[in-house]
Structure 1
Amino acid sequence: MNHANGDIYITDVGESTNEELNYLPAGTSGVNFGWPFMEGLEQRKNGGMYEFTPPIYQFAHPSWIAIIAGFVYHGEKIPKMKGALLFGDMAGKLSLLGRDGITILKISESGNILTSFAEGPDGELYSLSRTGGIKRIDPV
């Protein structure tokens, strides 16, 4: 979510081929991202006469296991991340979607099972793991 403007980023854990990152601009409704007829940009079943909105990015299995949506960064500690969406994968991958596209961060949750993200009142972002760990995303 982007709390500054109300835009929403929606992740879709794929059934067998792709993970999706979808975008819903603030004030938009009635969007059909294609489930169960589409997985990423691949048609899985006949979708009939429906109009689908494609994902802004898709990530192929098996590199990605379960994509997890985060927040757009509005904190002060990492100026390079300002305005970029932090998201990740259950396998521990952390990624940014910024003006230049997708960047896989060198920061890693290796050994942890990433489950969610949180945003603090100061705009700083945190990763949450299945083992109960909460880590602030800090510059390296």
Structure 2
Amino acid sequence: GLMLVSNIGQANLESLYIVHKADDFGWPLREGPFMLDFEGDMSKIYALPANDSIFHFTYPAVQFDHDEGNAISGGFEYNGVKAKQLKGKYIFGDVVSGKLFFVEMKNLKDGSPSAIHQFKASVKGKVKSLRDICGDSRVDLRFAKDSHGEIYILTKADGMIYQLRDP
């Protein structure tokens, strides 16, 4: 399987990388596929230089900007049996808002960001955001996985653990 690592960005971008031996993700010179001025204003990003290939940086397989979330919460590939719709998908989210996302594992490629899909939780038959479920604007989302491949959503705001499963 693939080793994946999430990276909470400096100020603009959240990223998920496929890890290979000796990879260099570019920090502090890069935030995702953008250049940073580490001696200047680190909140600004710039286009990559024309000679970028000489640096041999590895770029994200997944990324989202701060319109979608503020801090990526790394997750897991789903390979359990209780949420068949999620089989073969990498489940992750945003720590702060509790937004839940998935990408197709088969589509992950270095430097070629995969399409991100958002999904919501359903509690007692009602589709809700985790903010609504927790009753707090800061969810503090975490993920766990058991030995059977089932994924759990942990919400620090209300101290709850939820198991992913089909409706």
1:114 touches 1:127 (CA, 8 Å); kept in 2? Answer: no
Between structure 1 and structure 2, the one with the greater Rg is 2
Structure with the higher strand share, 1 or 2: 1
Q: Using the TM superposition, give the Cα deviation of residue 134 of structure 1 relative to its aligned residue in structure 2, in angstroms.
A: 1.0
- Identify the match of residue 126 of structure 1 among 129, 152, 156: 152
Supply the AA of the counterpart residue of 2:13.
Answer: N
Q: Using the TM superposition, give the Cα deviation of residue 66 of structure 1 relative to its aligned residue in structure 2, in angstroms.
A: 0.5
Deviations 1:45-92 (A, max 9, x none): 379963210001221114311001111001011222111100000111
Q: How many residues align?
A: 132
Same amino acid, percent of matched pairs: 31
1:124 touches 1:136 (CA, 8 Å); kept in 2? Answer: yes
- Identify the match of residue 130 of structure 2 among 105, 109, 112: 109
SS of 1:127's equivalent in the other structure is: strand
Distance 1:137 1:57 in 2: 22
**Which residue number in structure 1 is paired with residue 99 of structure 2?**
93
Distance 1:127 1:11 in 2: 17
**Which residue number in structure 1 is paired with residue 21 of structure 2?**
29
SS of 2:26's equivalent in the other structure is: coil
Unmatched runs of 5 consecutive residues or more in structure 1: none
2:82 touches 2:164 (CA, 8 Å); kept in 1? Answer: no
Distance 1:16 1:78 in 2: 34
Q: Using the TM superposition, give the Cα deviation of residue 36 of structure 1 relative to its aligned residue in structure 2, in angstroms.
A: 0.9
- Identify the match of residue 35 of structure 2 among 43, 46, 53: 43
Across the aligned residues of Structure 1 and Structure 2, the Cα RMSD in angstroms comes to 2.1
Distance 2:6 2:62 in 1: 10
Distance 1:67 1:126 in 2: 16
SS of 1:71's equivalent in the other structure is: strand
Q: Using the TM superposition, give the Cα deviation of residue 32 of structure 1 relative to its aligned residue in structure 2, in angstroms.
A: 0.6
